[in-house]
């Protein structure tokens, strides 16, 4: 152990015992001498609080995908990664070999991934914040130069970033597929690039929407499994309740009640942001509300859920 | 100064600036959790750099005290400062200079010891490379070798305590706050932990505040001792004086000699107990001579003389009784 440390460049060594006493044949270069490295003070650079937030963000983003963790922590993220990316990759692959260019549409893919990232959020939001509470790690974080609010923001940011990988990532595969399968990629890019803005805004909004709700619910959980069940329960029960209430309502009320249904809100938002007319027979088509309503509801939910989350961590106490 | 000495430099084995630095200072520090419960009651104390023992029975207010120093709990009234920084205004600066080892579990299960300690180093402001190097060094210091690459969930209690100490040391704090570091350890583990604490304090030149409900264990490694009970300060001074304060000589007599105790008292000794079993405070070496001479004068046969000590709780109960 002393040996391995002694090889580190820059370490200054001192032989044990009185160094002024010449030792017969026992100089430091002949080896075999014992070294006591002692304690070394750190006098280098110390970084600021922003660095602590960035560090926590990056560490939590890795945690969301199970990186640097045991094999079991990688299972759920890997499965969801596969399920969101494989259809996009297969779709691009099929289109490039057959020359048939009917790729999965951006809005359909966003609707398809919303369900999966809700599952992802249910599994990983508790992994990010409940386990810190459950195992007491939060105490160590709060004893460092970091406030509870910054802690919660870093964790929320990490979850949203992980969800962006799952939503925007496959969309980017579809986008690049469309561009490079085309006879003239440059012409295709000029046609297609305007969709990048809606793609980023769309996937970001959906990720924040689902992520902030999952984090707000998880912030009340004392144990990981219960917190996951609560998040899943929320995303199952609220749509179910909204559907029942909507089936009882009539007229104008029925039209507006679609805004209480999280999945339909995402559907309506996806049609709006990609400028696609909703089909008449779908719920969104029948409600026929302005698309910005769906966006407004999502923003309101994001603000409320984030506020709840930050309030939970405002007191900096465990 | 060789190349590379930019980051690390050797510290002298003394406490730097010990003459002018106030390590911990509180004035009328009070913390109440509700109207009826006073966790800390007008605590006014000063601690000099060095190894400080902080003793009190369970629930005496030790953890509350540490949490206030870290800015994790706001004081109800009064003031407290750590390294001349106020706990209300300079929390972030305090936390940068202090390492904290909580009493309870505080480690994740599915991260390796090396990764976790390095992460905690970065959270305290160390750059990536320095955090990794210091994490490896601190884990070596606490005696974790190859195990540091295994997931913490598989560690024994003793290994977990070592990781907890390593993460408190990784950013080279000026002060370590250790809350019941020997809790849950077997006797050998306790010895190891105490030796580590002593080494950290004396060789590293880092000041240490270590809490315990076991006086006997803590006084062996400390220079200064602070004792609290029910949130009130009971003692603050050198360990040696506290040891004298708590030691009693038990004298067992063969026969009942009722006049012996008054005779001893008349010669200035502090005596209590029954007629055949006396408990006497040892002032200095002459105490033994006085007991021997007085016993001889009264023809009392001493069957047994033994130095014992109060349990912490007894001491406080006695003092409360004496003062109130």
Concatenate the DSSP letters of all residues of B39-106 into one string: EEEEEEEEE-SSEEEEE--TTSSHHHHHHHHTTSS--SEEEEEETTEETTT-HHHHHHHEEEE-SS--
| Mean of the per-residue pLDDT values of chain B | 85
- This prediction's pTM: 0.82
| Best of B103, B104, B108 to mutate (most A CBs within 10 Å, chain A) | B108
Instruction: State residue A100's pLDDT score.
Output: 60
Residue boundaries of the structural domains of chain A: 1-44, 49-313
Instruction: State residue B11's pLDDT score.
Output: 41
Is the CB of B107 less than 8 angstroms away from the CB of A135?
yes
Measure A179 CA to nearest chain B CA, in Å: 39
Token pair 């002593």 in the structure block, residue: B198
Q: At what angle do helices A291-313 and A262-273 cross, to 10 degrees?
A: 120
* ipTM of the complex model: 0.83
Is the CB of A39 less than 8 angstroms away from the CB of B151?
no
Q: At what angle do helices B128-141 and B113-123 cross, to 10 degrees?
A: 130
Is the CB of B105 less than 8 angstroms away from the CB of A136?
yes
Q: Between A10, A56, A142, which is nearest B72 by CB?
A: A142
Q: B142: nearest CA in chain A?
A: A39
Cβ B60 vs Cβ B39: under 8 Å: no
Instruction: State residue B261's pLDDT score.
Output: 86
A 218-257 residues inside an 8 A Cβ radius of B: none
> Does A135 contact B at CB distance below 8 Å?
yes
Instruction: State residue A110's pLDDT score.
Output: 86
CA A307 from chain centre, in angstroms, equals 18
Is the CB of A11 less than 8 angstroms away from the CB of B8?
yes
Q: What one-character DSSP code corresponds to residue B258?
A: T
Measure B296 CA to nearest chain A CA, in Å: 54
Instruction: State residue A232's pLDDT score.
Output: 94
B309-323 pLDDT per residue, tens: 665 555 555 544 333
B38-55 pLDDT per residue, tens: 899 999 999 999 999 999
Cβ B96 vs Cβ B125: under 8 Å: yes
| Spans of chain A below 50 pLDDT | 1-31
Q: What one-character DSSP code corresponds to residue A67?
A: T
Among A265-274, B92-101, B230-239, B269-278, the minimum mean pLDDT is found in B269-278
Average pLDDT over residues B280-298: 85
Residue whose C-alpha is closest to residue A47's, from B133, B125, B91, B6: B125
* Burial (CB count <10 Å: 0-12, 13-18, 19+), residue B71: buried
Domains, chain B: 24-230 (3.40.50.300), 247-323 (3.30.70.790)
Q: Using 50, 70 and 90 to split pLDDT, how confident is the model at B21?
A: confident
Interatomic CA distance for residues B295 and B290, integer angstroms: 8
Half-sphere exposure of A106 (CA within 13 A, CB side): 28
Give B98's contacts in chain A (Cβ within 8 Å).
143
A 90-119 residues inside an 8 A Cβ radius of B: none
Instruction: State residue A26's pLDDT score.
Output: 40
């Amino acid at each position: 152990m002393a040996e391995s440390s002694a090889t580190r460049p820059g370490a200054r060594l001192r032989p044990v015992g009185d160094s002024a006493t010449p030792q017969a044949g026992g100089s430091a270069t002949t080896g075999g001498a014992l070294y006591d490295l002692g304690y070394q003070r750190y006098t280098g650079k110390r970084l600021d609080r922003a660095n602590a937030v960035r560090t926590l963000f990056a560490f939590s983003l890795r945690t969301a995908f199970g990186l640097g963790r045991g094999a079991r922590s990688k299972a759920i993220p890997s499965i969801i990664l596969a399920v969101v990316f494989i259809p996009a990759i297969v779709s691009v692959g099929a289109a490039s070999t057959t020359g048939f260019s009917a790729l999965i549409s951006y809005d359909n893919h966003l609707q398809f991934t919303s369900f999966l990232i809700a599952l992802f959020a249910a599994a990983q939001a508790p992994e990010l914040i409940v386990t810190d509470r459950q195992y007491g790690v939060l105490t160590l974080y709060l004893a460092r130069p970091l406030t509870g609010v910054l802690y919660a923001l870093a964790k929320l940011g990490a979850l949203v970033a992980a969800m962006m990988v799952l939503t925007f990532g496959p969309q980017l595969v579809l986008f690049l597929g469309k561009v490079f399968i085309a006879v003239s990629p440059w012409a295709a890019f000029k046609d297609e690039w305007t969709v990048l803005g809606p793609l980023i805004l769309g996937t970001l909004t959906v990720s924040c929407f689902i992520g902030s709700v999952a984090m707000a619910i998880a912030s009340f959980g004392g144990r990981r499994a219960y917190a996951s069940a609560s998040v899943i329960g929320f995303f199952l029960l609220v749509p179910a309740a909204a559907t029942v209430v909507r089936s009882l309502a009539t007229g104008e009320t029925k039209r507006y009640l679609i805004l209480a249904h999280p999945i339909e809100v995402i559907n309506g938002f996806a049609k709006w942001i990609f400028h696609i007319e909703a089909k008449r027979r779908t719920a969104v088509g029948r409600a026929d509300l302005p698309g910005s309503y769906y966006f407004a509801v999502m923003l309101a939910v994001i603000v409320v859920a984030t506020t709840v989350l930050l309030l939970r961590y405002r007191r900096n106490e465990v | 100064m060789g190349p590379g000495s930019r980051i690390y430099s050797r510290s002298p084995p003394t406490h730097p600036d010990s003459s002018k630095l106030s390590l911990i200072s509180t004035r009328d520090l009070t913390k109440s959790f509700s109207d009826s419960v006073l966790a800390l009651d007008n605590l006014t104390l000063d601690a000099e750099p060095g190894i400080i023992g902080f003793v009190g029975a369970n629930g005496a207010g030790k953890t509350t005290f540490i949490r206030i120093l870290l800015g994790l709990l706001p004081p109800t009234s009064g003031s407290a400062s750590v390294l001349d920084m106020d706990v209300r205004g300079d929390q972030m600066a305090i936390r940068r200079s202090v390492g904290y080892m909580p009493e309870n579990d505080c480690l994740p299960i599915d991260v390796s010891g090396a990764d976790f300690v390095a992460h905690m180093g970065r959270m305290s402001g160390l750059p990536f490379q320095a955090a990794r190097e210091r994490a490896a060094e601190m884990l070596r210091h606490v005696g974790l070798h190859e195990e540091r690459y295994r997931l913490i969930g598989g560690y024994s209690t003793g290994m977990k305590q070592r990781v907890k100490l390593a993460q408190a040391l990784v950013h080279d704090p000026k002060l370590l706050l250790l809350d019941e570091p020997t809790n849950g350890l077997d006797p050998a583990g306790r010895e190891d932990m105490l030796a580590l604490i002593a080494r950290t304090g004396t060789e590293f030149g880092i000041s240490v505040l270590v809490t315990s409900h076991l006086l006997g264990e803590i006084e062996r490694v400390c220079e200064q001792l602070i004792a609290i009970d029910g949130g009130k300060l009971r003692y603050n001074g050198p360990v040696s004086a506290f040891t004298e304060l708590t030691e009693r000589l038990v004298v067992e007599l063969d026969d009942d000699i009722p006049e012996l105790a008054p005779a001893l008292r008349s010669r200035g000794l502090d005596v209590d107990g029954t007629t055949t079993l006396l408990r006497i405070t040892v002032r200095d070496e002459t105490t033994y001579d006085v007991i021997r001479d007085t016993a001889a004068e009264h023809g009392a046969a001493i069957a047994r003389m033994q130095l014992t000590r109060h349990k912490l709780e007894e001491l406080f109960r006695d003092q409360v009784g004496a003062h109130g």
